[in-house]
Structure 1
Amino acid sequence: MSFLLSFSAGFALSASLIIAIGAQNLFVLRQGLKCQHVGAIVLFCAVSDAVLIIAGVNGMGALVSALPVLSMGFTLAGAAFLGWYGVQSLRRAVRHDSMSIVAGQGVSLRQALAAVAAFTWLNPHVYLDTVLLMGAAAMAQPPSARPVFAAGAVSASFLWFAALGYGARLLQPIFARPRAWQSLDVVMGGIMLMLSMSLLWSSFFHHCLTQE
């Protein structure tokens, strides 16, 4: 029974962290709507989460928190990428360039994986949430139950990304209209620019604190 509770605790915590509107989820949703490279993107996101979760459970959070320069580098790189992608999304919407669901349209597999890799690994929040928070929660578990806790967290990640990527096609009738794609691009652009500014502000605030 204790192992079942540990699995459930890991599953619930992981689900609460990843089921939120963010840059990565919006990109997975967009590719799912286009039915392009869904399997590869879902697998990349889930495996990346699994690597981060296992790293957190095994104590990597202490290393991340002990290297503020590394954290600052990820923050600035993530802010730059999110700002660039946000501007591109808004440009598509303004120029009526938003994609419709047409076979053969979209990005290549390499471009899609490069984008989702940036959304995943250049996001400093993923290290705070998945590595530090997950690691701290795992430490509250008995040592023998920590692998089960991690298994629950990883299961939630695989289930979520599969549901988001493959379930997005259910919304295709709505996105058969170009205006719906424009609206999605506006939402994506706005959220990513806000995330970019938030990262820059947190970086500036942290720098000011360290200078005092």
Structure 2
Amino acid sequence: MALASATAATDLLPVLVAGFGVGLSLIVAIGAQNAYVLRQGVRAEHVLPIVAICAVSDAVLILAGISGIGAVVERAPAALTVVRWAGTAFLVGYGLLAARRAFGTQSLRAGNGGGASTLRTAVLTVLAMTWLNPHVYLDTVLLLGSIANTHGQSGRWSFGAGAALASLVWFTALGYGARLLGRVFARPVAWRVLDALIAVTMITIGVALVLDT
């Protein structure tokens, strides 16, 4: 019995690794969520709750896809349209605020209190960036769920666990690894460049959501 269990675990390991790789490939990209986690990580501001929300949200979405919710998402274009427009408004608005910071005169430094956001603001912001993005339902729920279910009844959960682990590893590395850039962002010009890049990213993604119909 023990040998059979060990063999089954060994057989599922490649599936878990495959899930990790696919999940990482979908997460590691320049996007609104990653840009926000990077900025908060550099400032060492509410990193733990932000990382936890991102990782748990991805795990919930992956679980939903594996459980068959992806089919419901695929058949609900009206719901995705509502999310698309809400996400567009939020991203463009946040992008304009980042642009204002980029061209402002306020000096921002990692770890200081100047311009610090409250925990409530940070939580609501990352929740909006995660759940108001229609692509998260298409990629994480529909795509990952579909791929996971090709691995059979037991394999799909190993694939999902690998994808969820990839999310946890990535956001933890991004949020806490960003602190290594503290010296770079000791200069106000570095913050302006970062905020300019965030503004371009947010507004571009927001506009793309409108055009991608």
TM-score range, shorter chain: over 0.9
- Alignment match, 1:171: 181
Structure 1 distance, partners of 2:21, 2:106, is 39
Structure 2 distance, partners of 1:36, 1:50, is 23
- Alignment match, 1:131: 141
Question: Letter of the aligned partner of 1:4 in structure 2?
Answer: L
Q: Does residue 23 of structure 2 align to residue 14 of structure 1?
A: yes
| Distance of aligned partners of 1:177 and 1:2 in 2 relative to their CA distance in 1, 3 Å threshold | same
- Alignment match, 1:72: 81
Q: Does residue 92 of structure 2 align to residue 83 of structure 1?
A: yes
- Could you report, residue by residue, the CA deviation over 1:126-172 in whole angstroms, capped at 9, with x for unpaired residues? 11110011011012101111111111111111111100000000011
Alignment of 1:75-154 (within 5 A): 75-97=84-106, 99-105=108-114, 106-154=116-164
* SS of structure 1 residue aligned to 2:151: coil
- Could you report, residue by residue, the CA deviation over 1:77-120 in whole angstroms, capped at 9, with x for unpaired residues? 00000000000000111123362224223100000000000110
Which TM-score applies when normalising by structure 1?
A: 0.93
- Is the CA contact 2:28–2:170 (under 8 Å) kept in the aligned structure 1? yes
Which TM-score applies when normalising by structure 2?
A: 0.93
- Alignment match, 1:57: 66
- Could you report, residue by residue, the CA deviation over 1:54-76 in whole angstroms, capped at 9, with x for unpaired residues? 10111111101111110000000
- Alignment match, 2:3: none
Alignment RMSD (CA, Å): 1.0
Question: Letter of the aligned partner of 2:35 in structure 1?
Answer: L
Q: Does residue 54 of structure 2 align to residue 45 of structure 1?
A: yes
Q: Does residue 209 of structure 2 align to residue 192 of structure 1?
A: no
Structure 1 segments (4+ residues) deviating >3 Å: none
For these two proteins, the number of residue pairs brought into alignment is: 203
| Distance of aligned partners of 1:95 and 1:142 in 2 relative to their CA distance in 1, 3 Å threshold | same
> Structure 1, unaligned stretches of length 5 or more?
207-212
Structure 1 distance, partners of 2:209, 2:106, is 28
